[in-house]
Chain A
Amino acid sequence: MVKTPGVSRRRFVGATAAAVAAPYFVPSSALGQGGRPAPSNRLTLAMIGIGNMGGGHLGAWLGRPDVQVVACCDVRQDVRDRCRTQTEQRYASQTASGTFKGCAADNDFRAVLARDDIDLVCIATPDHWHALIAIEAAKARKDIYCEKPMTLTIREAHAMHAAMRRYNRVFQLGSQQRSSREFRLACEMVRSGRIGKVTNVNVNVGGPSGPKEFPAQPIPEGFDWDLWLGPAPWAEYNFERSSGNYGGGWRQVRDYSGGAMTDWGNHHFDIAQWGLGRDLSGPVEILPPNLTPNRKLVMRYDDGITLTHGGGGNGVLFEGTEGKVEVNRGYLKTYPESIMADPIGASEVHLYESPGHHEDFLRCVRNRQRPICDVAIGESTITVCHLGNLAWWLGRKLTWDPDQKTIVGDAEAIRMMDRPRRAPWRLDV
């Protein structure tokens, strides 16, 4: 589906870094105007999907001297044109002439991936597109920053993991909480045993998406609605259906998203998995709210530790035999307070310390290491979220085999681990 590129400049950059097994750096002789690396040493990046999150990422990439945004891809013409204008105006302000042209505006991501002069893609489309675009980008030898939630289905996550490894790509999932100090510290305390044996983790996020109905509306001019739908079942256009508004929009529609369970869940369940040291594993039993005494979704690991959805607490609450750790953005508290009185010592657990989510990604692009939210971690976390949704939707207990990566003993649930895709789209791995 995508033309195979030849040798690119970026591949040379990455290969050079690996050859010397040292962090890549830009020699001062290569610096361009205003201290920016010369164009030949900047990593070129394409934005694919430029809504709420994509717009935020765009600002961050434009603010980096070592990255050059060269393409804005979105199925909405006004959005991609605005992205291009913003990009070119930004770069124009850094030139002596005050002018700059050099950012494409594309409707179809395949046109972006076919370009050999693009090193990186930032995928911030609705969820139902993440896997297809990321896998095609991997085949095209792009390194990938992909918004969370990683996928729409369990099998997509498995396929993305395999594709990134097969094509040796650097993949950073946008679960940026791992790059925040408070979450790392919370997980280090839990894994160092400061709250004793962990018994339960409360994860406070919203619930699943559903088969939401909307009234039909005319498709706005310049909006490629068929491409927006892509692999999802055909549906009538509706502004809210395609809106990225939090608390509504496409996130509440099952054809495109798993709802808050996967959207925020990909953040907070991720921290739960990190704190429990289950990055490449997962729970073995999932009980929906209608089957639990506290009417909450509960997942159970093979050692009896439970993961309680919406169980109370601010963000993520780790409960142990000797205390609790509660963490959210900009918030870290322990019960008792003395648990966090001392810094994490050398003999305790030290987790990957990211210099910032974007920075970590770019650093790994250069040294070909795996970033803090590598695809394997992303696969495990989003699988936890999907399992929660499946049990919730089906209203019955599910059994999961983390080693074989499959639901056990429920034919319908197994069939729901993936979804057939509207032609011509397919998961090409």
Chain B
Amino acid sequence: MIWRRCLPLLLLALPLAAQDADLALWTKHLTGAETAPARDAAEWQRVATAVATPLAAAMADEDPGKRQGPKNALEQIAHQAARPDAEAQRAGVAAAYASLLGPATNWRARQWLLQLLANCGRDEVVDAVAKLLDDGDARIAEQARLCLENNPSTAASALLRARLAASGTTAQQVAYLNGLGYRVDPAATPVLAKLLAHADDAVVQAAAAALARTADGAAADALQQARGTAQATCRPAVDDALLLAAERIAKKGQRPLAERIFRALYVPAEPPRVRLAALRGLAVTLGEGAIDLVLAALGSPDAETATVAAQLVGDLPGAQVSRAFAAKLGDLQPAAQVVLLGALAQRADPAAAPAVVKLLSSPTAEVQVAAANALAAIGGVEVVPDLGTLARGGATPVAQAARNALARLRGAGVDAAIMKLIRDSQPPLAVALLQAVALRQARDGAAAVLGLLQEKLPPAVAAEAARALAALAGPGDLPAVCRLLVALDATGAEAAADVVRKLLPQVATPAERSAPLQASLAAVAADRRGLLLGLLAQSGDAAALPALRSGLAGDADTQITVLEGLAEWPDAAPAADALKVLQTSTEARVRIAALACYVGLQVAHGRRAGQEAALAACREAQAKAAGDGEKRQVLRQLGTIPSAAAVAQIGGLLDDPALAPMAGETLFFAAGQVGAAFRDDMLPALRKAVEKTADADLKGKLQQYVDLLQGYGERVSCWQVSGPYGVDAGDRFNAAYAPEKPNTPATWTVVPTPQVKGGGLVDFQAMPLRGDNRCGYLRTRVFLAERTEARLELGSDDGAKVWLNGKEVHAKDVPRGHTFGEDKVDVLLEAGWNELLLKIANGGGDWSASLRIAKRDGSALAGLKYELGE
């Protein structure tokens, strides 16, 4: 839009008319920037010629930047002139532009003026444009033809017809035929009809296409005749043209003629392409009168015909069509009933519902299912009892379809009708209805079920109501559900606790999570206090810690429940409490729960120091363990610590004959978690475990990890991953997301061993961030004792970017499959630890990457060490 405002300035910069004061004023008149005085077409032509001439001349510049302004200005003047109710201005400007079309004007301006005249020129430009049809510059000659093609003048039509008659080549004939077809010229029909018998296929096809657009009786007659005479190579084009002509004839209101054409084509002898197009055309032409035709096609043994018919049931306009089709339902065979029911569902017209309900009692199950499915789309409150009757049939397809239909029914009062039916029903039906209630996700559904749960219910109904509540309740329902923890019997309370567990992550703040639980805690009986404390431990609310610490001083069951909840605490605050329990409890199961809580919190929040603390706790617990069971559990916790020291410690236990089997199992577990990340430490431990393990099954599984880790070769396997980012974003490759932004936190997780495939291929599609149209990041730390010139050998599916120590060293935005070492990037690794960050984009399908760090000549680089980032 800037050029609109700059146009007067632009004109002042033009050399020829720079000093002409009138020019600037006329330009304002021509562009609409200033109201123009009344002018006739000749006067407009004079001012437009004066303004347009230097603009056109300026388009000769070889610098495209200098051509752009004049080009835009010529367009704005044309559009302004061609606005409604400005005929004199339009005619004047068009004539002015036409006067500039001669060879004295540069070719770019001529071509552009012709493009503009294609939309604003009429009679006044025909002669000037016609002269260009034989221009020596083929680009101009073709643009002139296109200009006339879009000119509504009858003179343009006559000219194109004359040029067609005089055409010397097939290419010219096709061009003029296309032009006549584009503009729809009934006067050309006789000529076009003759050309249907032309020897050249391209001419016949173009003539047929032009007649199709003309679409009058004469054109249709010509095309119908040509079907009998056309070469086989042209027949499809003639068929297509006749189909299109018939459609256009129908739209013009000449339905009897269109009907005749379509009926002639809807016969078995025609190829399916033509026959089925004719069926559609005929049905659309007949409208409501096509019902019997469509029903007959619906029952056709030819499946493709039936498919088109089914779509027609959905497509045909008319208020009576649904009722008319529905009225025929009972007359059809079951297979046709199924198809018609599906099509009626597509129409979504409730008028068909009464007829559909009758088929719920069909002796054929497939029909019952189809009827239920249809009612889901077109039924309302009135069909609830009928669907309810079918819904209690257990796991049968009919009952399932009925329940699904109840779940999808629309309309006011449906939810209330279902709840009433639940209260009036015996368990089998009440349970089925509650399942539907859960699926319906009604906004007030939770409240209704909460109300139901306050009543005395058969156990099966109460259990199903609790399940429904779990599906329906939202965060706002937490206080009400917490009250159920106090009010219901033990079974009901457990079910309510499940609902609370589902809701807690949805509630925004820790305080809002803990407040209703603390209120219930104050009112609950002692035997249910542990249940409440376990839930409270999931609140993450610091204000709840005193109550939870009191729970840690309670009985063993309560201690364990609270410790399990605290393991997911949002910070390390309860770690000291867990450690205290670990060090003081006399019960092994409590100690194990405390160790798991402590290790979990330290690993999640304590960074490297936390890992060391967790490791120390495991060592201490191992030393104090009362028996094999406890030692096994301690070992399992050891296996969750992502550190080389933990791997080494597990490996060390392989020398203890009593612990070796358990250490082998733990090592197997740890290898799956962090084997790839700590390959150098894990491999010797795994080999030792293979040697020490007597269990053949475990030995085999350990050996598989040995093989996998060895197979990584020199490629990096120590990775953390972050993502996905830029899901479905247009330019995710160049957009910067958190991992590549300085001082921006991102969530990183260790890439587990199974996701680093053979050869060191990191498989993103095996990770939780999997999917199409997204990107993800990998990072690792690389150590070298000395500053070293190195080469990164990267493979990626799809594009990749690489940063070394925060500096981008490689970017390749390309859709491709993965090839090891496809990109080679020379880099300089600093002495000490280096930070490597990879961004891998995925369009669709496979998504993977690999990296080898080598010398510049591709040979192995010794002394590399890897570790995970903090």
Contacts and interface: CB of A to CB of B under 8 A. Distances in A.
B37 interface: no
Nearest to B725: A330
Contacts of B139: 234
Given A59-B845, A60-B844, A424 B415 contact: no
A1 B205 contact: yes
Contacts of B271: 4
Interface string B407-421: 111111011000000
Contact of A346 (B32, B83, B335, B410): B410
A62 B845 contact: yes
A271 to B, nearest CB: 13
A9 interface: no
Contacts of B72: 210-211
B36 to A, nearest CB: 15
A246 B475 contact: no
A162 B247 contact: yes
Interface in B64-100: 64-65, 67-68, 71-72, 75-76, 79-80, 82-84
Contact of A368 (B209, B307, B814): B307
B470 to A, nearest CB: 13
Interface stretch (A96-104, A125-133, A144-152, A389-397): A389-397
Contact of B306 (A2, A19, A167): A19
Nearest to B797: A59
B729 interface: yes
A176 B774 CA distance: 14
A41 B143 CA distance: 48
Given A60-B772, A139-B236, A211-B75, A346 B728 contact: no
B188 to A, nearest CB: 15
B585 interface: no
B interface, over-half SS: helix
A59 B843 contact: yes
A62 B846 CA distance: 9
A103 B455 CA distance: 67
A423 B111 contact: no
B494 to A, nearest CB: 25
B203 to A, nearest CB: 11
B867 interface: no
B145 A56 contact: no
Contacts of A57: 843-844
B62 A215 contact: yes
In this complex, the interface size class of chain B, counting residues with CB under 8 Å from chain A, is 35 or more
B489 interface: no
Contacts of B145: 420, 423
Interface stretch (B18-26, B43-51, B172-180, B662-670): B172-180
A177 B728 contact: yes
Contacts of A1: 205, 237
A48 B96 CA distance: 43
A63 B440 CA distance: 35
B518 interface: no
Nearest to A165: B280
Interface in A88-109: 89-90
Interface in A210-239: 210-215, 233-234
Contacts of A330: 727-729
Given A18-B303, A329-B728, A416-B119, A344 B83 contact: no
B51 to A, nearest CB: 17
A249 B67 CA distance: 18
B806 interface: no
A121 B814 CA distance: 22
A185 B830 CA distance: 50
A428 B584 CA distance: 87
Contacts of A168: 276-277, 280, 304, 307-308, 311
A412 B415 CA distance: 55
Interface string A142-180: 000000000000000000001001111000000011001
A4 B24 CA distance: 59
B408 A346 contact: yes
B396 to A, nearest CB: 17
Contacts of A419: 118, 150
Interface stretch (B427-435, B441-449, B631-639): B441-449
Nearest to A349: B410
Given A21-B342, A56-B844, A62-B845, A212 B68 contact: yes
B84 A21 contact: no
Given A1-B237, A234-B142, A59 B798 contact: yes
B64 A422 contact: no
Contacts of B111: 233-234
Contact of A214 (B64, B76, B80, B182): B64
B307 A422 contact: no
A424 B178 contact: yes
Contacts of B178: 421, 423-426
Interface string B194-237: 00000000100110010010000000000000000000010111
A215 B79 CA distance: 26
Contacts of B75: 211, 393
B730 interface: yes
Nearest to B729: A329
A34 interface: no
B308 A410 contact: no
Contacts of B240: 139, 428-429
- Name the interface size band of chain A: 35 or more
B307 A264 contact: no
B730 A246 contact: yes
A348 B409 CA distance: 10
Contact of B843 (A55, A341, A410): A55
Q: Which of B119, B206, B273 has the most CB of A within 10 A?
A: B273
B1 interface: yes
Nearest to A141: B273
Interface string A40-56: 00000000000010011
A137 interface: no
A58 B772 CA distance: 12
Contacts of A180: 728
Interface in A368-406: 368, 370, 393-396
Contacts of A425: 178
Interface string B112-124: 1001001110000
A275 interface: no
B414 A16 contact: no
Given A341-B476, A410-B83, A429 B304 contact: no
B32 A395 contact: yes
B816 interface: yes
B79 A395 contact: yes
A176 B728 contact: yes
B118 A15 contact: no
A21 B179 CA distance: 45
A42 to B, nearest CB: 15
A289 interface: yes
Contacts of B303: 15-16, 18-19
A35 interface: no
Contacts of A341: 474-476
Interface string A344-375: 11111010000000100000000010100000
Nearest to B172: A423
Contacts of B276: 168
B287 interface: no
A411 B151 CA distance: 11
A428 B844 contact: no
B171 interface: yes
B817 interface: yes
Nearest to B143: A233
Given A410-B84, A412-B120, 6 more contacts: A177-B728, A213-B71, A215-B62, A234-B139, A289-B1, A416-B119
14 contacts: A4-B236, A19-B306, A56-B815, A64-B845, A211-B72, A213-B65, A233-B143, A234-B111, A234-B143, A290-B4, A347-B440, A370-B311, A422-B142, A423-B142
Q: Rank and list the top 5 A-B pairs by shortest CB-CB distance, nearest first.
A: A63-B845, A60-B844, A56-B843, A55-B815, A19-B303
